[in-house]
Amino acid sequence: MSIKVDLDLEFLNDVPNEGLKKLADILVYDIKDGEKRKTQKLANKLEYVNHYPDKLHYCVGEIIHELQLYGGDSIMNLFRRHGVSYREILTDVCDKQNIRYKKSDTVAAIEFELLRSVAFDSIDKYKEEAIDEVLEDFGIMVNSDMRMDEKKDCVKELINNPSTRLKAYHIFISQGSCSADSYTQQLGWDALKGAAVAGGFSPIVKAGASQLLKKAGGYILPGVQIVLGLWTISDLTRMVTGPAFRVTAPSVLLIGVLREEYNQRKLKA
């Protein structure tokens, strides 16, 4: 099958290798047990075999092609000889999650609506002390008179703000979630372990839950942290309507944050 030209994913050619690896791992490995997916084809491609895990910029096209195939119906893929566009994959995920967007919106705008919805939902999983840590990290003074709903509104503003939202995503899973009696305890170790394997974090799965997040916060991409923490096994099980969605859902989350990182790098250049 041929690779469908997709301008919305061209930026992946300029994404650091670690970001491409996390995306490739989501496409190749099953989130439940860390084994290779039976339906995946990427790991059998010569380009992937020759360049995984350190030189994946040589097979960006193959990675995109694999995602396109997951997004399309298998029989229809055979007839048209390719998968579907990223925009179709993204809007399908949003439609299944009742994320509101306009048909005229750019892909980046739709990604933001999805990421914002997932991030907003995750705020309710935090205890007040964790919310306080997030606000303090941004230099926002927290006083005893502030109600919990006011604190959550402050965090939401950080997510809505283009200059702070990427850092907000990062803090949600690294510094803001390291306490074992807050976020990690509520999500459960099994969920974190499953998501970690799916994200390619098997070397650190043996650590305790809080230590996992402490270590993860030090060196993995914010986009990967979203896949690791905000959408865990339990979340995906509840939301998934078919096997392909287990792949496309975390993939578009990761791509959305990789795009945000890419755009911010361009602004700084």
pLDDT of residue 242: 59
CB-based burial of residue 100 (10 Å sphere; 0-12 exposed, 13-18 middle, 19+ buried)?
Answer: exposed
Supply the pTM of this predicted model.
Answer: 0.76
Residue 53, preceding peptide bond in cis (omega within 30° of 0): yes
The share of the chain scoring above pLDDT 70, in percent, equals: 67
Residue type, 187: L
pLDDT of residue 107: 98
pLDDT of residue 119: 79
Alpha-carbon gap, residue 9 to 247, rounded angstroms: 17
Instruction: Tokens for 76, please give them.
Output: 């229809």
Question: How many of the other CB atoms lie within 10 Å of CB of 197?
Answer: 20
Euclidean distance between the first and final Cα of the chain, in Å? 37
pLDDT of residue 211: 39
Q: Which residues of the chain have pLDDT under 50?
A: 75, 77-80, 173-241
pLDDT in tens, 110-169: 999 988 887 787 777 778 888 888 898 889 999 989 999 999 999 999 999 999 988 876
Which candidate, 172, 207, 181, places its Cα nearest to that of 192? 207
Q: What are phi and psi of 29, to 5 degrees?
A: -100, 140
Cβ(248)–Cβ(205) below 8 Å: no
The mean pLDDT of the chain is 73
